[in-house]
Structure 1
């Protein structure tokens, strides 16, 4: 019996060292080497002030900014501590009302478009509720509004969008998309350069 207790203590100690020390250290080092910007959430600084995270969507409501996907994360949306989908079934009336509300909001903000022009990602939240990307179609749809609000040419905005376009992973997984925060930061920089 004494030998069994000894084995249990040694095994517990060994597993503690491996799983509590070696493995976390290995994962941390691998993250630092292979994912240097993502390891700390992709925080973006402007003049030494954190303005957002590359990996977490945020709410942009001004006409001079590109808007991201709606968020179901948290009570008011875009809550990084409450990442979750709405969990509403496709037959749920609240989901229908949320999408209808987003469609009306998008049409009001972009009066030159038709309802058939609106891509799905502008009116529905993502699985995490914090997706920082929108599709190329969603970005291009907002160009006239942002150009008018900033008194910039639409061609310049389209060039910015194309310069920040992220290709599908491995060339075929997903679709082309644009990070909304990076796009809005770049639009601010270009406007300040003028």
Structure 2
């Protein structure tokens, strides 16, 4: 369980294929505090720490994960948003995030608006995921509020702190990002479909 509040931006140090699996080595300041078998969200994807060495650690993404997320497009020296699992009893500063990406989306517009930014993303509506105005969405692991909700697109407003301390400053129009839609909204939608 995560909150969508990014702790650190990590740097991809090495990528190694083994069969259909991808071993991803990440350089991060939080590494000395990690332990083997710990869950860490990488651009919103929950992955398990499998090895640790000095200030870098390795996680493994299986083919299913690579098919449904943007992790397959990572390259050495790319940056990823990192968040460790939530501690029971901590404040929930973002929203409930599972680390299970529902689908990817494409950044179709970036507007700078007098000291902040508005990013617009377009996604495939055939997967039946929805956003609602002022609802929660996770973009590359970052908990955000939806604005301008449409059937297959939405926007988010990014403050300077979020822009500087996440991978948003590296996004471009046409960048592919990971989306996790609000878990409560997904259950409500499913219940209404079955009624």
Is the structural similarity TM-score above 0.5? Answer: no
TM-score by length of 1: 0.30
> Which of the two has greater strand per residue?
2
TM-score between the two structures when normalised by the length of structure 2: 0.30
Of Structure 1 and Structure 2, which has the larger fraction of its residues in helix? 1
